[in-house]
Amino acid sequence: MQRDLPALAGSQFDLLVIGGGIVGACVARDAALRGLRVALVERGDFAGGISWNSLKIVHGGLRSLQVLDIAQARHFVRERRAWLTIAPHLVEPLSFAVPTRGFGRESAMLMRAGLALNDLVSANRNEGVVASRRLPAGRALARDELRTLAPGVFDRYTGGALFHDAQLYSAERLVIALIEDAVRAGAIVANYSEAIGAVNEDGRLTGAVVRDALGRESGERFDVRARMIVNAAGAGAARVADMLTGREGVASSMKGIALNLMLAGDERVQTAFALTSNDEGRLRRLFVVPWRGRTLVGTAHYPCEQMPASSAELEPYVERFVREVAAAWPTRALSRESILLVHAGMQPLPHGAPGAKTHGPPEHTIIDHANNGTPQLLTATGPKLTTSRAIAEELVDLVSARSGRTTRPCETATKPLASTPPGDVAIAVARALAADRAGMPDDVVTHLVRSYGAGYDALLAMVREQPELGARIEEGSPVVAAQLAYALDNEMAMTPDDLIERRTELGPTARATHRSREAVRAATDAPEHKR
């Protein structure tokens, strides 16, 4: 996919999507697959906003079950199944240990009831899912088993339960794969293109003024015209809604910040697990999740008026969360220095805050601006990554109805991404390992199939032609130089950060050193990539 601003400026679209996070990507894919003519603009890089910061859990509604919200739990089960079906190379099963003891909220009896209810509500969780991505039924854990799965964490507990959920291999690669699908279906997309104003004709919203934020043309403005606009600008959605409607306060801004901490991995820990923590008198569950050789801990939610503008402003939130985790998990001996990376992003009001929902995951809202006299605009606020596909389906249903175009039905819950390998992804990995692989080691081959799916063949061909592209960039990471060249040629990577943070996992796994910067410089300096 290529960044083609003249194509954006010179066409009339059915739909303009503002924002290239997971929600915008899902909307663009869905609408383009239904036959709509779609444009998408992203002011930074794709997946560079809140979507970069997730705990990578594709939730199956366990928290909804805790408060017996069965309808919401079933919605999460459906969406988890959709991701396991359409992107099995990028989404995989994740087991979760929850400890039990005594009577009351933490009792084994209550947990057994939870396991039974979860199995009942998620009875169809594996329909259409390939064998290696199916989720087993949950089960009770004996004390010794619990201690083996998470050594040193639950010594005071008498047993536990093992649940199964799903986890993203890479949030960034999922967003890129969705956007590539949209482009394949005809969408025109551009990163580093910010919507900065409304285009109005005869009192109607007919598009957005867009600013090119890059290079020689930086600051150049052009209009993108569309019958309908979906505002999927994440934390910027309230501002974009005000800008496009010409009114103030038509969408409420997010008033909470969410945080995860990334720590060094612990090979002994074989499962994700829950900790009970105390945030200034309020008990809550935190999740400790093994991911790509690292450990993620999250998610903390704190009231916050706007995203801290610097790491110094973010620091008090980080320190508060580090204190909370250190108290909840004393055997890990956590300090500020042991944090490799912090995820932070704006979210709707945290649970328990005045005016917020009292239970379960925050709910999303679709604001139909027909109510403010702008029927051409829809705004999505407060979605979860897990439910972004469903939100997109709802949005595109509205867009189709309002644009007056006859469209094909929504297919996104079952139609695999174009990059999904045919058959079972586990077999695709095994085949790639058994075939000629240009000397690349097991972990690199596995990583490339997981990251690119059917696109692995293109990277393999590059390494065959130029064996030095098969070299690891960082010790302990399976990322190879071919990925940089591939991203520059095919994935609209425009800056060094795009390559390190969002086309490869050098940044997201906190493994980027000066070697990554040097490899990026070598790739961008290559004559064929000189911009």
Q: Which residues bind ligand FAD (CB under 6 A)?
A: 18-24, 41-44, 48-51, 53-57, 59, 194-195, 232-236, 240, 258-260, 298-299, 343, 345, 347, 383-386
Residue pair 211/219 in contact (Cβ under 8 Å)? The answer is yes
Nearest to 388, CA basis, from 41, 39, 80: 80
| Residue placing its CB nearer to ligand FAD in the complex, 160 or 298 | 298
| Residue 285 neighbours by CB under 8 Å, 6+ apart | 274, 275, 276, 277
Rounded to the nearest whole angstrom, what is the least distance from the CB of residue 446 to ligand FAD in the complex? 23
Q: Tokens 């390494």 sit at which residue?
A: 463
| Residue placing its CB nearer to ligand FAD in the complex, 350 or 470 | 350
Rounded to the nearest whole angstrom, what is the least distance from the CB of residue 274 to ligand FAD in the complex? 13
Nearest to 86, CA basis, from 485, 455, 421: 421
CA pair distance 59, 6, nearest whole angstrom: 40
Rounded to the nearest whole angstrom, what is the least distance from the CB of residue 17 to ligand FAD in the complex? 9
| Residue placing its CB nearer to ligand FAD in the complex, 271 or 347 | 347
Kindly report the backbone phi and psi dihedral angles of residue 489, in degrees, each rounded to the nearest multiple of 5, phi listed first: -80, -35
Rounded to the nearest whole angstrom, what is the least distance from the CB of residue 143 to ligand FAD in the complex? 29
The tokens describing 328, both together, are 């909840």
Rounded to the nearest whole angstrom, what is the least distance from the CB of residue 30 to ligand FAD in the complex? 14
| Residue placing its CB nearer to ligand FAD in the complex, 230 or 334 | 230
Report, in angstroms and rounded to the nearest whole number, the Rg of the chain calculated over CA atoms: 23
Residue pair 286/327 in contact (Cβ under 8 Å)? The answer is no
CA pair distance 193, 219, nearest whole angstrom: 10
CA pair distance 125, 49, nearest whole angstrom: 30
CA pair distance 235, 253, nearest whole angstrom: 7
| Residue placing its CB nearer to ligand FAD in the complex, 223 or 474 | 223
| Residue placing its CB nearer to ligand FAD in the complex, 261 or 485 | 261
Rounded to the nearest whole angstrom, what is the least distance from the CB of residue 490 to ligand FAD in the complex? 20
| Residue placing its CB nearer to ligand FAD in the complex, 341 or 454 | 341
Rounded to the nearest whole angstrom, what is the least distance from the CB of residue 169 to ligand FAD in the complex? 13
Rounded to the nearest whole angstrom, what is the least distance from the CB of residue 387 to ligand FAD in the complex? 7
Q: How many CA atoms lie within 13 A of 409 on its CB side?
A: 4
Kindly report the backbone phi and psi dihedral angles of residue 342, in degrees, each rounded to the nearest multiple of 5, phi listed first: -120, 130
The three-class DSSP label of residue 227 is strand
Rounded to the nearest whole angstrom, what is the least distance from the CB of residue 412 to ligand FAD in the complex? 15
Kindly report the backbone phi and psi dihedral angles of residue 158, in degrees, each rounded to the nearest multiple of 5, phi listed first: -100, -10
Kindly report the backbone phi and psi dihedral angles of residue 142, in degrees, each rounded to the nearest multiple of 5, phi listed first: -75, 160
CA pair distance 290, 303, nearest whole angstrom: 27
Q: Tokens 């077999």 sit at which residue?
A: 427
| Residue placing its CB nearer to ligand FAD in the complex, 69 or 424 | 69
Q: In sequence order, what E strands does 143-255 have?
A: 159-168, 188-190, 193-201, 204-212, 221-231
The tokens describing 141, both together, are 């854990």
| Residue placing its CB nearer to ligand FAD in the complex, 57 or 162 | 57
Using CB positions, name the residue nearest to ligand FAD. 21
| Residue placing its CB nearer to ligand FAD in the complex, 33 or 300 | 300
Kindly report the backbone phi and psi dihedral angles of residue 39, in degrees, each rounded to the nearest multiple of 5, phi listed first: -120, 145
Rounded to the nearest whole angstrom, what is the least distance from the CB of residue 67 to ligand FAD in the complex? 18
Rounded to the nearest whole angstrom, what is the least distance from the CB of residue 81 to ligand FAD in the complex? 14
| Residue placing its CB nearer to ligand FAD in the complex, 385 or 429 | 385
**3-state percent breakdown (helix, strand, coil) of the chain, nearest 5:** 40, 25, 35
